[in-house]
Amino acid sequence: MNEAKKAAEYRSELKPIWCPGCGDFGFLNALYKALEELQLDTANTVVCSGIGCSSRISGYVKAYTFNGIHGRVLPFASGVKMSRPETTVIAVGGDGDGFSIGAGHIGHAARKNINITYIVLDNNIYGLTKGQASPTTPLGVRTKTTYYGNMGTTFNPVRMLIAYKASFVARTFSGDPKHIQKILVDAVRHPGFAFIEVLSPCVTFRGQDQYKILRDRVRYLDENYNPENEVEAFDIANDENTLALGVIYKKIRPTYDEIIQQNVISKAKAASNGIAKIDKLLEQFQP
Amino acid sequence: MNNRNIVIGIAGSGGDGVVSAGEILVNAASSDGLFVFMLKSFGAQIRGGESSVRVRISDLPVQSQGDRIDVMVVLSWSNFLRFKSELLLQEDAVIVSDTDDPMSDDSIPLNELQRTNWYKIPFSKLATEQTGSNLAKNIVMLGAISELFTLPKEALNKSVKKKFKTKTDDIIESNIKAMQAGIDYVREHIEKKDPLRFEYEIRSPRLVMQGNEAVAMGAIYAGLEFYAGYPITPSTEIMEWISRYLPQRDGITMQMEDELASINAIIGASFAGRKAMTATSGPGISLMTEGIGLASMAEIPVVIINVQRGGPSTGLPTKTEQADLMQAIWGSTGDSARVVIAPCDVEDCFDCTVMAFYISEKYQMPVIVLSDQFIAHRTESVNPDAIRGSKEGFRKVYTRDVPDEEQLKDYRRYQFTESGVSPMSFPGIAGGEYHASGLEHDERGYPRGDAASHQKMTEKRWKKFEQIKEEFRFERFYGPLDAQLGVIAWGSTKGAVKEAVNKANAMGIAVGALIPQLIYPFLLDPFNEFMKSKKRVIIPEMSFSGQFKRYLRGFIRFGDYGVKDVAYAKAGGSPFTVEEILNKIIEEWKDMEASR
């Protein structure tokens, strides 16, 4: 048996480009530790991302990693997972990538229950383009594109994901890397689509006080909390003043690859008596 | 007069069984080894409404749908009139219609000759007598026309049985009786006035396929493992077919939420080491454009089928056009390396798809196959040996280059190589872990924003074209190569061009044609060979702005060859007829003669 891998061995040679104080550092360190705890094989792990500050993460991990285009990390991750189900797939992006340009994909990855982990590092702002409003920027906040104050009501990602029937919905905070690590391990082990919202402050464009503001707002879910009660989960999600941290909703149901193997491939191969030969398929075109 | 080639039109309402009758006819002719070409046309309704088919049956190879109809079968005159502009009749066309059609003879637009050659047969009444319902009137009709024009009767009988093979014996039996009733009625009550008789030799059976089916089959042949797509006319049948049969070969089909998802899902599957494909049409390809650029940048093999329809925007969803050419070749931000191939008939759809996988897997870039609605939805009889691979055609299957042990010691995914191709590892290969990105990058895939890196990596990606150009000569010449008059066309226009060129040469007009299949990268050699003797070249295309001609002009200056290039550009909607191309050839030839 090989020696156990250390967190540092999941680190790539690339150095993060983030600003000092960025919440994403806390997450990245927790990710390395979670990979160590899970002892994932780098050759069978894919970390992929979209575009944005947080999407740079894929480059910082030693595994098969992919930094694709804006908003499309979930379709990419679905393609990887469905074509190679033995791979552990971790998809990462920001609030702009996931809830604005890529919002159309979340519901479908969730309802299909693609067995991947999807992490949104939510900093309430577009950071890479230097400070424009995102779907989670609070109402009234001045940004470079909302000079007179942000006009749209803020997205509630957790509520959205429960409504989409995501089979695992959690929230954590980059001010508490240990908590992130625990949630990440649970999410990767969860058989199905696991969503994690990481409250990850952007000190550059949302202010140095973000950590303090969030620390005052967050609370940890009770150890006895049962995440399988959908109504209770919605209640918790609806509380936008106190942000609950932990696994807010969870429901085990068949994953997409299980359904495809059991209900599609097995039926198809029964119909064709095993792997269909080309000549056999051609028979249907005989007059 | 004995015909070795016959074009039969059938028109009626949605419930008349027009398409079923067409399919039975096609199957019968194909099982006797005849060459068949069928086009279907529907009204705008999703269900019901009017429909028509045009079936060309020939003892000799056919290239096109046949310009004019020899035998027009009308199951309902009111519905025929809706297709009048699409169904052009021969001056002496034979008309076969239902005796009890409610429309009065006077209001039907036929010439004197056609009125003389008009047979009325009580299809509905005979069907009701034999089967208790008028549903089988199309089968009665098939019996009647088989007797009138000596069509393959036994094969028709077999095809009718096959059509109803999932039904009860009673139903099969009554349909056979219905067909016989049609035959008997003609024998007993009809006096044959026209001279049309179909004559042919029975050969071994041919396969019956549509272009979209041939694409799907070609993909399976090439080893497709993962398909993601979103339904869009006229490409949908590809996904329908693959979703049913790919799982029989352990493959995965995913219906995605949109085309953005489709292209990114196949990029994901290909990154994971699988052969992956999607199919779409104009609006979908527009959405995929960014993803195609990503595949180009990250050097990920993917095959994209674009079944062109009329555009821009939603355009003409059920009609053909060839105006996505520039989008296929250049449609991207930045200089995005990709290959574009165009099939020109149903059999070619198979070949081109196999080739697309070969090129994309070997050269690690997106390959776009530009089909169009005219090929996609037509039914042709296809040589079974061509598909099974015993005939000449593109049948090479490529398995992606993966890094060897030595390379894995210090794996560089985008290593600079002489050919520009570097071994591609995938999840599961230990030591092959790497970073890929839509960002410009270094040999290891890590982001690099400097101009020198960008220059060098772009050169690497584009260098692959040199080898592709050496490996492939993929074009077709028709007619004498040394003729002074030429036609250059691409894709589905081939059929009408080939037939027109053959006709023109038979008339004493020397004209040659060049049909490139590998559209991009541009191969100069075939053009040089073709141009050597030319004085004038006609470029017919279903693109109003003349995209193909503009594209050619980007690589060759016709003036340098002493050649005058003549555009024959029209908007899509209906494909070129042989007559249109032939008339253009004659017109240009006369003009050349006059100025001699």
Query: What DSSP character marks residue A261?
Result: I
The answer to whether B257 contacts A108, with C-beta atoms less than 8 Å apart, is: yes
Question: Considering the domain boundaries, does residue A2 fall inside one?
Answer: no
In a mutational test of the A interface, the residue from B160, B264, B299 whose CB has the highest number of chain A CBs within 10 Å is B264
Percentage of residues in chain B having pLDDT higher than 70? 98
Q: Are B209-388 and B475-594 the same fold in CATH?
A: yes
- Same domain? For A133 and A166 the reply is yes
In angstroms, the CA B141 to CA B146 distance is 8
Together in a domain, A222 and A260: no
Q: Does A232 map to a domain?
A: yes
Q: Are residues A225 and A282 in the same domain?
A: no
For residues B75 and B145, the answer to whether their CB atoms sit within 8 Å is no
Phi, psi angles (nearest 5°) of residue A157: -60, -40
Both A233 and A263 in one domain: the answer is no
Mean pLDDT, chain A, rounded, equals 96
Contact B536, B588 (CB under 8 A): yes
Closest CA to B302 of B279, B282, B275, B281: B275
* Mean pLDDT on A178-194: 98
Does the N-terminal peptide bond of residue B526 adopt cis geometry, omega within 30 degrees of 0? no
Closest CA to A63 of A82, A80, A75: A80
HSE, CB side, 13 Å, CA atoms: give it for residue A221: 24
First to last CA, chain A: 59
Sheet holding B475-478, edge to edge: B475-478, B511-516, B485-488, B536-541, B564-569
- Residue B444: per-residue pLDDT: 97
Spatial strand order of the sheet with A194-199 comes to A218-220, A243-250, A168-173, A194-199, A117-122, A88-94, A45-49, A64-67, B435-437
* B58: pLDDT strictly greater than 70: yes
Residue A200, token pair as written in the block: 């990850």
The answer for B508, left when phi > 0, alpha when psi is -120 to 50, beta otherwise, is left
Q: Are B216 and B238 in contact (CB under 8 A)?
A: yes
> Does the pLDDT of residue B485 top 90, yes or no?
yes
Topology at the third CATH level for domain B475-594: Rossmann fold (3.40.50)
Task: Say what the pTM is.
Answer: 0.96
pLDDT at position A120: 98
For chains A and B, CB pairs below 8 A equal 200
Asked if A78 has any chain B CB less than 8 Å from its own CB, the reply is: yes
B260 contacts on A by Cβ (under 8 Å): 71-72, 75, 104-105
Kindly give, in sequence order, each residue whose CB lies less than 8 Å from that of residue B318, ignoring residues fewer than 6 positions away.
Answer: B42, B233, B234, B309, B373
Q: Do B265 and A71 touch (CB under 8 A)?
A: no
Note whether A193 and A279 are same-domain residues. no
Secondary structure element (H or E) that encloses residue B380, with its range: strand B379-382
Average pLDDT, integer, range A85-101: 98
Q: Which of A102, A92, A96 is nearest to A129 (CA)?
A: A96
Class of domain B2-204: alpha beta
Asked if B271 contacts B245 with a C-beta cutoff of 8 angstroms, the reply is no
Peptide bond before residue A157 is cis, with ω within 30 degrees of 0: no
Least confident window among A266-275, B38-47, B58-67? B38-47
pLDDT at B9: 97
ω into B312 cis (within 30 of 0): yes
A281 and A237 in one domain? no
Domain map (residue ranges) of chain B: 2-204, 209-388, 405-459, 475-594
Q: What is the pLDDT of residue B391?
A: 53
User: Could you tell me the pLDDT band of residue A227, with boundaries at 50, 70 and 90?
Assistant: very high
Beta-strand relationship, B511-516 and B475-478: antiparallel
A184 and A287 share a domain? no
CB < 8 Å to B447, chain A: 14, 59, 67
Q: Which pLDDT value is given to residue A207?
A: 94
Average pLDDT, chain B: 95
pLDDT-derived band at B138, boundaries 50, 70, 90: very high
Number of domains making up chain A = 2
Q: Tell me the three state secondary structure of residue B511.
A: strand
Residue B200 pLDDT > 90:
yes
Does residue B134 carry a pLDDT above 80? Answer: yes
Q: By residue range, what is the domain housing residue A124? A: 7-253
Residue A1 resides in a domain: no
Considering the domain architecture, whether residues A150 and A199 belong to the same structural domain is answered as: yes
Q: What is the pLDDT of residues B110-119, one digit of tens each?
A: 999 999 999 9
Residue B1: the pLDDT is: 52
Query: Does B431 sit within 8 Å of A76, measured CB to CB?
Result: no
Residues on chain A touching B291 (C-beta within 8 angstroms): 69, 72
The Cα B289–Cα B294 span in angstroms is 9
Residue B554: its pLDDT value, please?
95
Are A79 and B439 in contact (CB < 8 Å)? no
Least trusted range by pLDDT, from B40-49, B188-197, B565-574? B40-49
User: Does one domain contain both A20 and A103?
Assistant: yes
- The band of B42, judged by pLDDT with boundaries at 50, 70 and 90, is confident
Confidence band, pLDDT 50/70/90 cuts, at residue B2: low
Task: Map B155-188 to HEC letters.
Answer: HHHHHHHHHCCCCCHHHHHHHHHHHHHHHHHHHH
Task: Give me the sheet containing B366-372, strands edge to edge.
Answer: B252-255, B226-229, B276-280, B302-308, B366-372, B339-341, B518-520
Fold of B209-388: Rossmann fold (3.40.50)
Asked whether the predicted pLDDT for residue B584 surpasses 80, the reply is yes
Cα radius of gyration rounded to whole Å, chain B? 26
Q: Which runs of consecutive H residues, i.e. helices, occur in A39-126?
A: 73-83, 95, 103-112
Question: What ipTM was estimated for this complex?
Answer: 0.98
- The answer to whether residues A263 and A166 belong to one domain is no
CATH number at residue A129: 3.40.50.970
| Same domain assignment for residues A112 and A231 | yes
Q: Token pair of B25, please?
A: 């006819």
Residue A2's pLDDT is 64
| Structure-block tokens of residue A29 | 């360190």
Pairing of strands B5-13, B69-74: parallel
Q: Do the Cβ atoms of B252 and A107 come within 8 Å?
A: no
Supply B377's token pair: 């939805």
B531-536 average pLDDT score: 96
Tell whether A107 and A172 lie within a shared domain: yes
How do B518-520 and B339-341 pair as beta strands? antiparallel
